[in-house]
Every structure is written in structure tokens, then in C-alpha cells.
Homo-oligomer: A and B are copies of this chain.
Amino acid sequence: MSEITVAQALKGLKAGIAKANEIKSPASIAVVDSGRNLLAFARMDGALLASIEISQGKAYTARSLNMKTGDVTEFVQPGAPLYGMETSHRLPLVVFGGGRPISKGGQIVGAVGVAGGMVPDDESVADAVASAIEGG
């Protein structure tokens, strides 16, 4: 399996920070590898402290489920098939947008999670991180 190098992960952080600055949405950004283990992290100046845990939770969740975290939301609502899943792990799953898998050569090699802003802003930063890593 191809893997994300630390150089690629740091390049991803840099791209994410640039995007977050551009849209004025200070964020925490977390990149995990294919095994859900933390590879790189940065909390931007002014980002909420809660973004530390939530960004890592989003990356962990995206790779755990191989889905964007925003796509999980509907399945965990009351009455939906996976209601309550977010508390089923020793590490918490985060079930709203801002996390997404990272692929190389058609294979998922890790994930990124971003928190600190509105969900669409976090998703935009996550896309920038993933693109930088997938292209690198």
C-alpha cells in the first residue's frame, strides 16, 4: 500500500492553512495514515480549543468508515440505521462534516479532519489538504 509521507502530510497542512486563511476560518487540521494513526497536526492561531479533539475525531472517523464524515450524519439520527454509532468506539467518532479519506492510486491511504469553523468551511479546508497530499 502506498503511504502518506511526513513531507506530504506537512505539505497538506500548509495547503490547509492557506485555504483557511483565505476563507478566514482558523482551524485545527489533522492527518492520519491508513491505520488511523496520527501523522501530522496543526492548530492555527485563533482556532477554538474544541477543534483539537474534533479535527482528530473527524480524521479518525473518515478513515474508520472510508467516508466523508458529513455523509455519516444522516445515518446516526434517531430512528436511522446507525443511531448511536458515534459512541461505539473507545475513541469518539465525529458524525458531521469536515473529515474525508485521502487516496493515492485509487486506494485510501489515510484521512484528514478539520475543525474550528462552520462545516462547509471545514470541508473546504479538508479538500485543500487532501488535494495537496493526493497530488503530491
Contact = CB atoms under 8 A, between A and B. Distances in A.
Contacts of A64: 48-50, 53
Contacts of A44: 6
Contacts of A91: 90
A50 to B, nearest CB: 4
A117 to B, nearest CB: 12
A86 B89 contact: no
Interface residues on A, range: 35 or more
B92 A87 contact: yes
A1 to B, nearest CB: 5
B95 A66 contact: no
Number of copies: 4
Contacts of A66: 48
A41 B88 CA distance: 17
A135 to B, nearest CB: 19
Contacts of A18: none
A136 interface: no
A45 interface: yes
Contacts of A87: 86-87, 92-93
Interface of A: 1, 3, 5-6, 9-10, 13, 17, 33-45, 48-50, 52-54, 57, 61, 63-66, 73, 76-79, 81-96, 119
Given A50-B89, A73-B83, A81-B96, 6 more contacts: A33-B35, A37-B43, A54-B88, A76-B83, A84-B93, A87-B87
